[in-house]
A and B are shown apart, each in its own frame.
Chain A
Amino acid sequence: MIPDWIRPRAERFRFLPAEQAARGSLPWIVALMVALAVLGMAAGISLVSGVGVMKDGLAQRFTVQIVEPNPDIRADKVAATVAALEGRDGISRIRVLETAELRELLEPWLGSGNVGEDLPLPAMIDAEAESPALLNHVAASLERDVDGARVDDHAGWLAPVARLAWVLAIVALAAALLLTAAMAAIIVLGVRAGLTRHAETVDVLHLIGAEDRVITQLFQYRFGMVAALGAVTGFLVALLLIFAIGRLITALGSGLVAAAGLPWWGWVMVVMVPVVAVMLSTITARITVERSLADVL
Protein backbone atom coordinates (compact mmCIF):
# COMPACT_ATOMS: atom_id res chain seq x y z
CA MET A 1 0.00 0.00 0.00
CA ILE A 2 2.86 2.35 0.89
CA PRO A 3 5.60 2.24 -1.77
CA ASP A 4 8.97 0.81 -0.82
CA TRP A 5 10.94 3.95 -1.54
CA ILE A 6 9.16 5.67 1.36
CA ARG A 7 9.36 2.74 3.74
CA PRO A 8 12.84 2.29 5.19
CA ARG A 9 14.39 -1.20 5.05
CA ALA A 10 14.04 -1.48 8.80
CA GLU A 11 10.28 -1.12 8.39
CA ARG A 12 9.99 -3.47 5.44
CA PHE A 13 11.84 -6.18 7.34
CA ARG A 14 10.09 -5.32 10.61
CA PHE A 15 13.26 -4.90 12.65
CA LEU A 16 10.94 -3.68 15.38
CA PRO A 17 7.40 -5.00 15.85
CA ALA A 18 4.54 -2.94 14.44
CA GLU A 19 3.74 -0.10 16.77
CA GLN A 20 0.47 0.42 18.60
CA ALA A 21 0.89 4.18 18.32
CA ALA A 22 -0.56 4.22 14.81
CA ARG A 23 -3.77 2.71 16.09
CA GLY A 24 -3.76 4.49 19.43
CA SER A 25 -4.59 8.02 20.44
CA LEU A 26 -1.57 9.78 18.95
CA PRO A 27 -3.06 10.52 15.50
CA TRP A 28 -6.17 11.92 17.16
CA ILE A 29 -4.13 14.17 19.40
CA VAL A 30 -2.19 15.43 16.39
CA ALA A 31 -5.47 15.89 14.51
CA LEU A 32 -6.97 17.93 17.34
CA MET A 33 -3.90 20.11 17.63
CA VAL A 34 -3.64 20.72 13.91
CA ALA A 35 -7.35 21.56 13.73
CA LEU A 36 -7.10 24.03 16.61
CA ALA A 37 -3.95 25.61 15.22
CA VAL A 38 -5.51 25.97 11.76
CA LEU A 39 -8.69 27.52 13.15
CA GLY A 40 -6.73 29.89 15.37
CA MET A 41 -4.48 30.99 12.55
CA ALA A 42 -7.36 31.38 10.10
CA ALA A 43 -9.30 33.49 12.59
CA GLY A 44 -6.30 35.65 13.44
CA ILE A 45 -5.27 36.20 9.85
CA SER A 46 -8.76 36.99 8.58
CA LEU A 47 -9.31 39.46 11.42
CA VAL A 48 -6.12 41.34 10.77
CA SER A 49 -6.51 41.32 7.02
CA GLY A 50 -10.21 42.22 7.26
CA VAL A 51 -9.43 45.27 9.35
CA GLY A 52 -6.65 46.11 6.93
CA VAL A 53 -9.00 45.95 3.95
CA MET A 54 -11.52 48.17 5.70
CA LYS A 55 -8.82 50.61 6.70
CA ASP A 56 -7.60 50.88 3.14
CA GLY A 57 -11.13 51.61 1.95
CA LEU A 58 -11.72 54.20 4.64
CA ALA A 59 -8.34 55.74 4.96
CA GLN A 60 -9.08 58.76 2.83
CA ARG A 61 -12.78 59.18 3.68
CA PHE A 62 -13.77 61.88 6.10
CA THR A 63 -16.86 63.64 7.38
CA VAL A 64 -17.19 67.28 8.29
CA GLN A 65 -19.73 67.81 11.00
CA ILE A 66 -21.12 71.29 11.60
CA VAL A 67 -22.88 71.91 14.88
CA GLU A 68 -25.01 75.01 14.62
CA PRO A 69 -28.52 75.34 16.11
CA ASN A 70 -29.62 78.12 13.77
CA PRO A 71 -30.67 76.48 10.49
CA ASP A 72 -29.90 79.57 8.37
CA ILE A 73 -26.41 80.08 9.71
CA ARG A 74 -25.92 76.36 9.43
CA ALA A 75 -26.82 76.46 5.75
CA ASP A 76 -24.32 79.29 5.21
CA LYS A 77 -21.58 77.40 6.95
CA VAL A 78 -22.32 74.28 4.92
CA ALA A 79 -22.11 76.30 1.73
CA ALA A 80 -18.83 77.85 2.85
CA THR A 81 -17.39 74.48 3.73
CA VAL A 82 -18.45 72.91 0.45
CA ALA A 83 -16.93 75.86 -1.38
CA ALA A 84 -13.70 75.54 0.57
CA LEU A 85 -13.53 71.84 -0.18
CA GLU A 86 -14.33 72.30 -3.83
CA GLY A 87 -11.67 74.93 -4.07
CA ARG A 88 -8.98 72.46 -3.23
CA ASP A 89 -7.20 70.02 -5.48
CA GLY A 90 -7.29 66.41 -4.39
CA ILE A 91 -10.67 66.52 -2.67
CA SER A 92 -13.39 64.56 -4.40
CA ARG A 93 -16.81 62.98 -3.89
CA ILE A 94 -18.10 65.83 -1.80
CA ARG A 95 -21.63 65.18 -0.70
CA VAL A 96 -23.90 66.91 1.78
CA LEU A 97 -26.01 64.43 3.65
CA GLU A 98 -29.78 65.12 3.41
CA THR A 99 -31.74 65.71 6.61
CA ALA A 100 -33.72 62.56 5.88
CA GLU A 101 -30.52 60.52 5.76
CA LEU A 102 -29.41 61.96 9.07
CA ARG A 103 -32.78 61.07 10.60
CA GLU A 104 -32.38 57.55 9.34
CA LEU A 105 -28.94 57.34 10.91
CA LEU A 106 -30.30 58.45 14.23
CA GLU A 107 -33.41 56.30 14.28
CA PRO A 108 -31.73 53.14 15.49
CA TRP A 109 -30.60 55.01 18.58
CA LEU A 110 -33.61 57.18 19.31
CA GLY A 111 -36.39 54.92 18.07
CA SER A 112 -38.51 55.48 14.99
CA GLY A 113 -40.90 58.40 15.27
CA ASN A 114 -38.88 59.97 18.04
CA VAL A 115 -36.72 62.01 15.73
CA GLY A 116 -38.96 65.08 15.52
CA GLU A 117 -38.89 67.76 12.86
CA ASP A 118 -37.75 70.21 15.47
CA LEU A 119 -34.79 68.15 16.70
CA PRO A 120 -31.73 70.21 15.82
CA LEU A 121 -29.36 68.09 13.77
CA PRO A 122 -25.80 68.89 12.86
CA ALA A 123 -24.99 69.10 9.16
CA MET A 124 -22.72 66.43 7.71
CA ILE A 125 -20.56 66.59 4.60
CA ASP A 126 -18.80 63.45 3.32
CA ALA A 127 -15.71 63.75 1.15
CA GLU A 128 -12.60 61.90 0.15
CA ALA A 129 -9.05 63.23 0.23
CA GLU A 130 -6.29 62.12 -2.08
CA SER A 131 -3.87 61.38 0.75
CA PRO A 132 -3.87 61.23 4.54
CA ALA A 133 -1.57 64.28 4.59
CA LEU A 134 -4.04 66.34 2.58
CA LEU A 135 -6.81 65.09 4.83
CA ASN A 136 -4.99 66.30 7.90
CA HIS A 137 -4.24 69.63 6.29
CA VAL A 138 -7.85 70.21 5.17
CA ALA A 139 -9.16 69.16 8.57
CA ALA A 140 -6.94 71.66 10.33
CA SER A 141 -7.88 74.57 8.10
CA LEU A 142 -11.63 73.80 8.17
CA GLU A 143 -11.72 73.55 11.92
CA ARG A 144 -9.92 76.89 12.12
CA ASP A 145 -11.98 78.76 9.49
CA VAL A 146 -15.47 77.44 10.08
CA ASP A 147 -16.79 77.90 13.56
CA GLY A 148 -18.39 74.67 14.89
CA ALA A 149 -16.87 72.43 12.22
CA ARG A 150 -15.37 69.12 13.27
CA VAL A 151 -13.61 66.68 10.95
CA ASP A 152 -13.71 62.92 11.57
CA ASP A 153 -11.50 60.67 9.53
CA HIS A 154 -13.09 57.26 9.27
CA ALA A 155 -9.82 55.39 9.67
CA GLY A 156 -9.47 56.89 13.12
CA TRP A 157 -12.60 55.10 14.29
CA LEU A 158 -11.04 51.83 13.27
CA ALA A 159 -7.84 52.26 15.26
CA PRO A 160 -9.10 50.50 18.42
CA VAL A 161 -10.67 47.75 16.29
CA ALA A 162 -7.37 47.27 14.48
CA ARG A 163 -5.50 47.10 17.77
CA LEU A 164 -7.92 44.49 19.06
CA ALA A 165 -7.60 42.50 15.84
CA TRP A 166 -3.82 42.47 16.18
CA VAL A 167 -3.95 41.38 19.80
CA LEU A 168 -6.35 38.56 18.89
CA ALA A 169 -4.13 37.54 15.99
CA ILE A 170 -1.05 37.44 18.20
CA VAL A 171 -2.93 35.40 20.81
CA ALA A 172 -4.01 32.99 18.06
CA LEU A 173 -0.45 32.68 16.78
CA ALA A 174 0.91 32.13 20.30
CA ALA A 175 -1.72 29.45 20.86
CA ALA A 176 -0.70 27.76 17.62
CA LEU A 177 2.95 27.81 18.72
CA LEU A 178 2.07 26.36 22.13
CA LEU A 179 0.02 23.63 20.47
CA THR A 180 3.01 22.86 18.30
CA ALA A 181 5.28 22.62 21.32
CA ALA A 182 2.75 20.38 23.08
CA MET A 183 2.62 18.13 20.04
CA ALA A 184 6.40 17.87 19.96
CA ALA A 185 6.38 16.95 23.65
CA ILE A 186 3.83 14.21 23.01
CA ILE A 187 5.96 12.86 20.17
CA VAL A 188 9.01 12.82 22.46
CA LEU A 189 7.06 10.81 25.05
CA GLY A 190 5.75 8.46 22.38
CA VAL A 191 9.21 7.82 20.95
CA ARG A 192 10.74 7.27 24.39
CA ALA A 193 7.99 4.85 25.30
CA GLY A 194 8.59 3.02 22.01
CA LEU A 195 12.33 2.81 22.66
CA THR A 196 11.73 1.50 26.17
CA ARG A 197 9.23 -1.07 24.93
CA HIS A 198 11.66 -2.34 22.34
CA ALA A 199 14.86 -1.78 24.32
CA GLU A 200 15.85 -5.45 24.11
CA THR A 201 15.38 -5.68 20.38
CA VAL A 202 17.16 -2.36 19.83
CA ASP A 203 20.02 -3.76 21.91
CA VAL A 204 20.22 -6.92 19.81
CA LEU A 205 20.07 -4.89 16.59
CA HIS A 206 22.98 -2.81 17.84
CA LEU A 207 25.02 -5.84 18.84
CA ILE A 208 24.44 -7.44 15.46
CA GLY A 209 25.89 -4.31 13.89
CA ALA A 210 22.95 -2.03 13.10
CA GLU A 211 23.79 1.65 12.92
CA ASP A 212 21.73 4.13 14.91
CA ARG A 213 20.44 5.27 11.53
CA VAL A 214 18.46 2.06 11.12
CA ILE A 215 16.53 2.70 14.33
CA THR A 216 16.30 6.43 13.76
CA GLN A 217 14.79 5.99 10.31
CA LEU A 218 12.30 3.51 11.64
CA PHE A 219 10.98 5.80 14.35
CA GLN A 220 11.12 8.80 12.06
CA TYR A 221 9.02 6.96 9.51
CA ARG A 222 6.49 5.62 11.98
CA PHE A 223 5.90 8.87 13.81
CA GLY A 224 5.92 10.80 10.54
CA MET A 225 3.16 8.53 9.27
CA VAL A 226 1.13 8.86 12.46
CA ALA A 227 1.52 12.64 12.33
CA ALA A 228 0.56 12.73 8.64
CA LEU A 229 -2.59 10.75 9.33
CA GLY A 230 -3.50 13.07 12.21
CA ALA A 231 -2.52 16.25 10.40
CA VAL A 232 -4.61 15.49 7.30
CA THR A 233 -7.62 14.58 9.43
CA GLY A 234 -7.28 17.69 11.58
CA PHE A 235 -6.77 19.92 8.57
CA LEU A 236 -9.86 18.62 6.77
CA VAL A 237 -12.01 19.08 9.86
CA ALA A 238 -10.70 22.63 10.30
CA LEU A 239 -11.37 23.41 6.62
CA LEU A 240 -14.97 22.27 6.96
CA LEU A 241 -15.39 24.48 10.00
CA ILE A 242 -13.80 27.45 8.24
CA PHE A 243 -16.21 27.13 5.30
CA ALA A 244 -19.18 26.71 7.62
CA ILE A 245 -18.21 29.79 9.61
CA GLY A 246 -17.55 31.67 6.37
CA ARG A 247 -21.10 30.99 5.22
CA LEU A 248 -22.51 32.18 8.54
CA ILE A 249 -20.52 35.39 8.26
CA THR A 250 -21.66 35.97 4.68
CA ALA A 251 -25.23 35.43 5.83
CA LEU A 252 -24.78 38.27 8.33
CA GLY A 253 -24.12 40.57 5.40
CA SER A 254 -22.69 43.25 7.62
CA GLY A 255 -20.15 45.63 6.12
CA LEU A 256 -17.65 45.10 8.89
CA VAL A 257 -17.43 41.34 8.51
CA ALA A 258 -17.86 41.36 4.74
CA ALA A 259 -14.22 42.39 4.57
CA ALA A 260 -13.26 39.34 6.66
CA GLY A 261 -11.92 36.39 4.69
CA LEU A 262 -8.59 34.72 4.17
CA PRO A 263 -6.24 36.46 1.77
CA TRP A 264 -4.06 34.18 -0.38
CA TRP A 265 -1.09 34.40 1.99
CA GLY A 266 -3.43 33.41 4.80
CA TRP A 267 -4.31 30.23 2.91
CA VAL A 268 -0.63 29.52 2.39
CA MET A 269 0.03 29.87 6.12
CA VAL A 270 -2.95 27.71 7.01
CA VAL A 271 -1.86 24.97 4.59
CA MET A 272 1.60 25.11 6.15
CA VAL A 273 0.20 24.07 9.55
CA PRO A 274 -0.22 20.34 8.78
CA VAL A 275 2.98 20.31 6.72
CA VAL A 276 4.92 21.82 9.62
CA ALA A 277 3.24 19.42 12.05
CA VAL A 278 4.44 16.39 10.06
CA MET A 279 7.93 17.79 9.57
CA LEU A 280 8.20 18.67 13.23
CA SER A 281 7.04 15.21 14.32
CA THR A 282 9.60 13.59 12.06
CA ILE A 283 12.44 15.77 13.26
CA THR A 284 11.39 15.42 16.90
CA ALA A 285 11.29 11.64 16.60
CA ARG A 286 14.70 11.65 14.98
CA ILE A 287 16.35 13.84 17.59
CA THR A 288 14.75 11.91 20.44
CA VAL A 289 16.05 8.58 19.13
CA GLU A 290 19.51 10.01 18.43
CA ARG A 291 19.76 11.41 21.93
CA SER A 292 18.55 8.23 23.61
CA LEU A 293 20.90 6.01 21.62
CA ALA A 294 23.91 8.22 22.25
CA ASP A 295 23.84 7.02 25.87
CA VAL A 296 24.29 3.34 25.08
CA LEU A 297 27.53 1.78 23.90
Chain B
Amino acid sequence: MRPLARFENVGLRYGTDAEVLRDISFRLDAGTFMFLVGASGAGKTSLLKLLYLNRRPTRGRVTLFGEDIGSIERKKLPALRRRIGVVFQDFRLVDHLSCFDNVALPLRIEGVVESEVQAHVGELLEWVGLTKRAHARPHTLSGGEQQRLAIARAVIARPDLLLADEPTGNVDPQMAQRLLHLFQELNRLGTTVVVATHAVHLLPQVPTAMVLRLDRGEMRDPTGSLRHPPGSQRQAAIHEAGRAAE
Protein backbone atom coordinates (compact mmCIF):
# COMPACT_ATOMS: atom_id res chain seq x y z
CA MET B 1 0.00 0.00 0.00
CA ARG B 2 1.19 3.47 -0.84
CA PRO B 3 2.12 5.37 2.33
CA LEU B 4 0.14 8.53 2.97
CA ALA B 5 2.96 9.88 5.08
CA ARG B 6 6.50 8.75 5.65
CA PHE B 7 9.06 10.02 8.17
CA GLU B 8 12.71 9.18 7.63
CA ASN B 9 15.14 10.10 10.42
CA VAL B 10 13.23 13.28 11.04
CA GLY B 11 14.52 15.90 13.45
CA LEU B 12 12.80 19.16 14.41
CA ARG B 13 14.09 22.11 16.38
CA TYR B 14 12.54 25.48 17.12
CA GLY B 15 15.02 28.19 16.26
CA THR B 16 18.37 27.37 17.79
CA ASP B 17 16.99 25.30 20.67
CA ALA B 18 17.81 21.64 21.06
CA GLU B 19 15.87 19.23 18.86
CA VAL B 20 12.39 18.48 20.21
CA LEU B 21 12.06 15.55 17.79
CA ARG B 22 14.95 13.21 16.99
CA ASP B 23 15.30 10.33 14.56
CA ILE B 24 11.62 9.83 13.96
CA SER B 25 11.00 7.16 11.31
CA PHE B 26 7.67 5.57 10.51
CA ARG B 27 5.18 5.22 7.74
CA LEU B 28 1.52 5.99 7.90
CA ASP B 29 -0.51 4.03 5.39
CA ALA B 30 -3.75 5.38 4.01
CA GLY B 31 -6.68 4.16 6.08
CA THR B 32 -4.68 3.74 9.29
CA PHE B 33 -5.90 4.77 12.73
CA MET B 34 -2.92 5.86 14.76
CA PHE B 35 -2.57 6.93 18.37
CA LEU B 36 0.28 9.24 19.23
CA VAL B 37 1.04 8.95 22.92
CA GLY B 38 3.68 10.32 25.23
CA ALA B 39 4.10 12.49 28.29
CA SER B 40 3.52 16.22 28.21
CA GLY B 41 6.34 17.87 26.30
CA ALA B 42 7.28 14.64 24.54
CA GLY B 43 6.72 16.27 21.14
CA LYS B 44 3.27 15.07 20.08
CA THR B 45 2.08 18.48 18.93
CA SER B 46 5.42 19.09 17.23
CA LEU B 47 5.05 15.88 15.24
CA LEU B 48 1.52 16.86 14.25
CA LYS B 49 2.79 20.27 13.11
CA LEU B 50 4.97 18.46 10.61
CA LEU B 51 1.94 16.53 9.44
CA TYR B 52 -0.31 19.57 9.07
CA LEU B 53 2.40 21.48 7.22
CA ASN B 54 3.01 24.12 9.82
CA ARG B 55 6.73 23.31 10.00
CA ARG B 56 9.34 21.89 7.71
CA PRO B 57 11.60 19.25 9.27
CA THR B 58 15.01 20.61 10.23
CA ARG B 59 16.56 17.22 9.55
CA GLY B 60 15.58 14.09 7.70
CA ARG B 61 12.69 13.76 5.29
CA VAL B 62 8.93 13.99 5.63
CA THR B 63 6.87 12.80 2.69
CA LEU B 64 3.16 13.57 2.68
CA PHE B 65 0.76 12.70 -0.14
CA GLY B 66 3.86 11.92 -2.17
CA GLU B 67 5.39 15.38 -1.68
CA ASP B 68 8.66 16.08 0.09
CA ILE B 69 7.66 18.58 2.77
CA GLY B 70 11.21 19.79 3.24
CA SER B 71 11.33 21.29 -0.22
CA ILE B 72 7.72 21.67 -1.35
CA GLU B 73 6.80 24.99 -2.94
CA ARG B 74 4.61 27.29 -0.91
CA LYS B 75 1.96 27.54 -3.60
CA LYS B 76 1.34 23.79 -3.45
CA LEU B 77 0.56 23.87 0.27
CA PRO B 78 -3.11 25.02 0.23
CA ALA B 79 -4.19 22.09 -1.93
CA LEU B 80 -2.48 19.64 0.43
CA ARG B 81 -3.83 21.32 3.53
CA ARG B 82 -7.38 21.01 2.25
CA ARG B 83 -6.93 17.26 2.38
CA ILE B 84 -6.05 17.51 6.07
CA GLY B 85 -8.43 18.25 8.92
CA VAL B 86 -6.88 19.42 12.18
CA VAL B 87 -8.27 19.59 15.69
CA PHE B 88 -5.76 21.89 17.33
CA GLN B 89 -4.84 21.35 20.94
CA ASP B 90 -5.85 24.96 21.63
CA PHE B 91 -8.80 24.70 19.17
CA ARG B 92 -7.90 27.87 17.23
CA LEU B 93 -11.51 28.80 16.71
CA VAL B 94 -12.01 32.05 14.88
CA ASP B 95 -13.54 34.27 17.47
CA HIS B 96 -15.18 36.95 15.33
CA LEU B 97 -17.22 34.25 13.56
CA SER B 98 -20.24 32.37 14.91
CA CYS B 99 -20.00 28.65 15.60
CA PHE B 100 -21.83 28.03 12.33
CA ASP B 101 -19.38 30.16 10.35
CA ASN B 102 -16.41 28.50 12.04
CA VAL B 103 -17.54 25.09 10.90
CA ALA B 104 -18.41 26.48 7.45
CA LEU B 105 -14.95 28.02 7.04
CA PRO B 106 -13.18 25.09 5.32
CA LEU B 107 -16.07 24.67 2.86
CA ARG B 108 -16.22 28.38 2.09
CA ILE B 109 -12.47 28.52 1.57
CA GLU B 110 -12.88 25.71 -0.93
CA GLY B 111 -15.66 27.65 -2.64
CA VAL B 112 -18.49 25.19 -1.98
CA VAL B 113 -21.90 26.60 -2.94
CA GLU B 114 -23.78 28.17 -0.06
CA SER B 115 -26.83 25.87 -0.11
CA GLU B 116 -24.56 22.86 0.38
CA VAL B 117 -22.63 24.65 3.11
CA GLN B 118 -25.85 25.36 5.00
CA ALA B 119 -26.99 21.75 4.78
CA HIS B 120 -23.67 20.13 5.73
CA VAL B 121 -22.86 22.47 8.59
CA GLY B 122 -26.35 22.20 10.03
CA GLU B 123 -26.14 18.43 9.98
CA LEU B 124 -22.73 18.29 11.63
CA LEU B 125 -23.64 20.83 14.32
CA GLU B 126 -26.62 18.66 15.09
CA TRP B 127 -24.32 15.67 15.40
CA VAL B 128 -21.95 17.34 17.88
CA GLY B 129 -24.92 18.75 19.79
CA LEU B 130 -24.29 22.42 19.07
CA THR B 131 -27.36 23.28 17.00
CA LYS B 132 -28.65 25.58 19.71
CA ARG B 133 -25.34 27.43 19.87
CA ALA B 134 -24.96 27.81 16.10
CA HIS B 135 -25.09 31.59 16.26
CA ALA B 136 -23.12 32.00 19.46
CA ARG B 137 -19.53 33.18 19.39
CA PRO B 138 -16.97 30.49 20.28
CA HIS B 139 -15.67 32.24 23.40
CA THR B 140 -19.12 31.92 24.98
CA LEU B 141 -18.95 28.11 24.74
CA SER B 142 -17.76 25.75 27.45
CA GLY B 143 -14.41 24.02 26.99
CA GLY B 144 -16.07 20.81 25.87
CA GLU B 145 -18.36 22.63 23.46
CA GLN B 146 -15.38 24.41 21.95
CA GLN B 147 -13.67 21.08 21.53
CA ARG B 148 -16.67 19.65 19.71
CA LEU B 149 -16.83 22.72 17.53
CA ALA B 150 -13.14 22.33 16.67
CA ILE B 151 -13.76 18.70 15.74
CA ALA B 152 -16.73 19.65 13.59
CA ARG B 153 -14.59 22.16 11.71
CA ALA B 154 -11.83 19.57 11.23
CA VAL B 155 -14.12 16.95 9.70
CA ILE B 156 -16.63 19.07 7.76
CA ALA B 157 -14.71 18.86 4.47
CA ARG B 158 -14.22 15.07 4.69
CA PRO B 159 -10.41 15.20 4.85
CA ASP B 160 -8.17 12.33 3.73
CA LEU B 161 -6.12 12.81 6.87
CA LEU B 162 -7.55 13.82 10.23
CA LEU B 163 -5.17 15.01 12.90
CA ALA B 164 -6.58 15.45 16.39
CA ASP B 165 -4.43 16.87 19.16
CA GLU B 166 -5.84 15.84 22.54
CA PRO B 167 -9.40 15.87 21.20
CA THR B 168 -11.02 14.48 24.30
CA GLY B 169 -9.23 16.54 26.92
CA ASN B 170 -12.19 18.69 27.86
CA VAL B 171 -15.15 16.37 27.54
CA ASP B 172 -16.79 13.83 29.83
CA PRO B 173 -16.11 10.11 29.27
CA GLN B 174 -19.35 9.55 27.36
CA MET B 175 -18.64 12.40 24.97
CA ALA B 176 -15.06 11.16 24.63
CA GLN B 177 -16.43 7.79 23.55
CA ARG B 178 -18.80 9.38 21.08
CA LEU B 179 -16.07 11.49 19.55
CA LEU B 180 -13.79 8.51 19.29
CA HIS B 181 -16.61 6.66 17.56
CA LEU B 182 -16.92 9.53 15.13
CA PHE B 183 -13.23 9.23 14.34
CA GLN B 184 -13.58 5.48 13.89
CA GLU B 185 -16.57 6.00 11.63
CA LEU B 186 -14.58 8.41 9.48
CA ASN B 187 -11.69 5.96 9.52
CA ARG B 188 -13.97 3.23 8.25
CA LEU B 189 -15.04 5.56 5.44
CA GLY B 190 -11.40 5.87 4.42
CA THR B 191 -10.00 8.76 6.42
CA THR B 192 -6.57 8.23 7.92
CA VAL B 193 -6.75 9.31 11.56
CA VAL B 194 -4.00 10.36 13.95
CA VAL B 195 -5.03 11.07 17.53
CA ALA B 196 -2.48 12.52 19.94
CA THR B 197 -3.52 11.90 23.50
CA HIS B 198 -2.53 11.38 27.11
CA ALA B 199 -5.65 9.33 27.62
CA VAL B 200 -4.19 5.87 27.24
CA HIS B 201 -7.39 4.30 28.51
CA LEU B 202 -8.89 5.18 25.11
CA LEU B 203 -6.42 2.98 23.29
CA PRO B 204 -8.22 -0.34 23.82
CA GLN B 205 -11.31 1.14 22.21
CA VAL B 206 -9.64 1.02 18.83
CA PRO B 207 -8.13 -2.44 18.72
CA THR B 208 -6.83 -2.06 15.20
CA ALA B 209 -4.99 1.16 15.97
CA MET B 210 -1.30 1.61 15.59
CA VAL B 211 0.42 3.30 18.51
CA LEU B 212 3.38 5.61 18.21
CA ARG B 213 4.94 6.41 21.56
CA LEU B 214 7.11 9.45 22.00
CA ASP B 215 9.50 9.89 24.87
CA ARG B 216 11.25 13.25 25.06
CA GLY B 217 11.29 13.65 21.31
CA GLU B 218 12.33 10.11 20.48
CA MET B 219 10.34 7.10 19.43
CA ARG B 220 10.11 4.66 22.24
CA ASP B 221 10.69 1.09 21.14
CA PRO B 222 10.82 2.03 17.46
CA THR B 223 10.20 -1.42 16.10
CA GLY B 224 7.57 -2.58 18.52
CA SER B 225 5.57 0.61 18.64
CA LEU B 226 4.66 0.78 14.98
CA ARG B 227 2.22 -1.84 13.91
CA HIS B 228 0.77 -3.89 16.69
CA PRO B 229 -1.00 -7.09 15.86
CA PRO B 230 -4.03 -7.30 18.13
CA GLY B 231 -3.38 -8.85 21.46
CA SER B 232 0.41 -8.87 21.33
CA GLN B 233 2.85 -5.95 21.45
CA ARG B 234 0.06 -3.45 21.16
CA GLN B 235 -1.42 -4.61 24.42
CA ALA B 236 2.02 -4.56 25.95
CA ALA B 237 2.61 -1.07 24.73
CA ILE B 238 -0.73 0.05 26.06
CA HIS B 239 0.09 -1.56 29.33
CA GLU B 240 3.41 0.19 29.42
CA ALA B 241 1.83 3.51 28.46
CA GLY B 242 -0.73 3.03 31.18
CA ARG B 243 1.99 2.45 33.74
CA ALA B 244 3.88 5.49 32.50
CA ALA B 245 0.76 7.58 32.88
CA GLU B 246 0.36 6.47 36.47
List chain A positions with a Cβ less than 8 A from chain B.
9, 13-17, 200-201, 203-211, 214, 294, 297
With a CB–CB cut-off of 8 A, which chain B residues contact A297? 53-56, 74, 77
Min CB distance B177 to A, Å, is 27
Query: Roughly how many angstroms separate A294 CA and B73 CA in the complex, as a whole number?
Result: 11
Q: Are B92 and A214 in contact (CB under 8 A)?
A: no
What are 5 contact pairs spanning A and B, CB under 8 A? A13-B101, A13-B105, A205-B109, A207-B81, A210-B78
Q: Are B111 and A14 in contact (CB under 8 A)?
A: no
Interface string of B43-78 (1 = CB under 8 A from A): 000000000111110000000000000000011011
With a CB–CB cut-off of 8 A, which chain B residues contact A205? 105, 109
Query: Roughly how many angstroms separate A203 CA and B110 CA in the complex, as a whole number?
Result: 16
Q: Are B97 and A14 in contact (CB under 8 A)?
A: yes
Cross-chain contact of A209 among B94, B96, B109 (Cβ < 8 A) = B109
Q: Check: B82 CB closer than 8 A to any chain A CB.
A: yes
Q: Are B108 and A211 in contact (CB under 8 A)?
A: no
Q: Are B78 and A17 in contact (CB under 8 A)?
A: no
Q: Are B92 and A204 in contact (CB under 8 A)?
A: yes
Query: Roughly how many angstroms separate A270 CA and B82 CA in the complex, as a whole number?
Result: 48
Min CB distance B200 to A, Å, is 28
Q: Are A214 and B109 in contact (CB under 8 A)?
A: yes
Q: Are B108 and A13 in contact (CB under 8 A)?
A: yes
Q: Are B82 and A200 in contact (CB under 8 A)?
A: no
Query: Roughly how many angstroms separate A200 CA and B84 CA in the complex, as a whole number?
Result: 19
Nearest B-chain residue to A203, judged by Cβ: B92
Q: Are B81 and A208 in contact (CB under 8 A)?
A: yes
Q: Check: B86 CB closer than 8 A to any chain A CB.
A: yes
Q: Are B52 and A14 in contact (CB under 8 A)?
A: no
Q: A210-B78, A297-B55 are in contact. Are A204 and B94 (CB under 8 A)?
A: yes
Query: Roughly how many angstroms separate A48 CA and B106 CA in the complex, as a whole number?
Result: 59
Q: Are B97 and A208 in contact (CB under 8 A)?
A: no
Min CB distance A219 to B, Å, is 16
Q: Are B96 and A206 in contact (CB under 8 A)?
A: no
Q: Check: B79 CB closer than 8 A to any chain A CB.
A: yes
How many positions in chain B have a CB within 8 Å of any CB in the partner chain? 27
Query: Roughly how many angstroms separate A129 CA and B78 CA in the complex, as a whole number?
Result: 76
Cross-chain contact of B92 among A13, A16, A200 (Cβ < 8 A) = A200
With a CB–CB cut-off of 8 A, which chain A residues contact B106? 208-209
Query: Roughly how many angstroms separate A210 CA and B108 CA in the complex, as a whole number?
Result: 10
Question: From residue 94 to 127 of chain B, which have CB atoms closer than 8 A to chain A?
Answer: 94, 96-97, 101, 104-106, 108-111
Query: Roughly how many angstroms separate A203 CA and B88 CA in the complex, as a whole number?
Result: 12
With a CB–CB cut-off of 8 A, which chain B residues contact A201? 94, 96
Q: A13-B101, A200-B92 are in contact. Are A208 and B109 (CB under 8 A)?
A: yes
Query: Roughly how many angstroms separate A201 CA and B109 CA in the complex, as a whole number?
Result: 13
Interface string of B120-138 (1 = CB under 8 A from A): 0000000000000000000
Question: Ordered nearest first, which 9 A-B pairs have the shortest CB separation?
Answer: A209-B82, A17-B96, A209-B81, A211-B78, A210-B109, A209-B78, A204-B92, A13-B108, A208-B106
Q: Which of A14, A16, A201, A211 has the most CB of B within 10 A?
A: A211
- Supplied contacts A13-B108, A14-B97, A297-B56, 9 more A-B pairs, CB within 8 Å: A9-B108, A9-B111, A200-B92, A204-B92, A207-B54, A208-B109, A209-B78, A209-B79, A209-B109
Q: A9-B111, A205-B109, A208-B109 are in contact. Are A14 and B96 (CB under 8 A)?
A: yes
With a CB–CB cut-off of 8 A, which chain B residues contact A14? 96-97, 101
Query: Roughly how many angstroms separate A17 CA and B101 CA in the complex, as a whole number?
Result: 12
Interface string of B180-221 (1 = CB under 8 A from A): 000000000000000000000000000000000000000000
Nearest A-chain residue to B53, judged by Cβ: A297
Query: Roughly how many angstroms separate A201 CA and B54 CA in the complex, as a whole number?
Result: 14
With a CB–CB cut-off of 8 A, which chain B residues contact A200? 92
Query: Roughly how many angstroms separate A206 CA and B81 CA in the complex, as a whole number?
Result: 8
Question: From residue 150 to 190 of chain B, which have CB atoms closer than 8 A to chain A?
Answer: 153
With a CB–CB cut-off of 8 A, which chain B residues contact A206? 77-78, 81
Min CB distance A272 to B, Å, is 35
With a CB–CB cut-off of 8 A, which chain B residues contact A210? 78, 109
Min CB distance A290 to B, Å, is 11
Min CB distance B67 to A, Å, is 13
With a CB–CB cut-off of 8 A, which chain B residues contact A204? 92, 94
Min CB distance B40 to A, Å, is 23
Q: Which of B55, B97, B110, B153 has the most CB of A within 10 A?
A: B97
With a CB–CB cut-off of 8 A, which chain B residues contact A211? 75, 78
Nearest B-chain residue to A211, judged by Cβ: B78
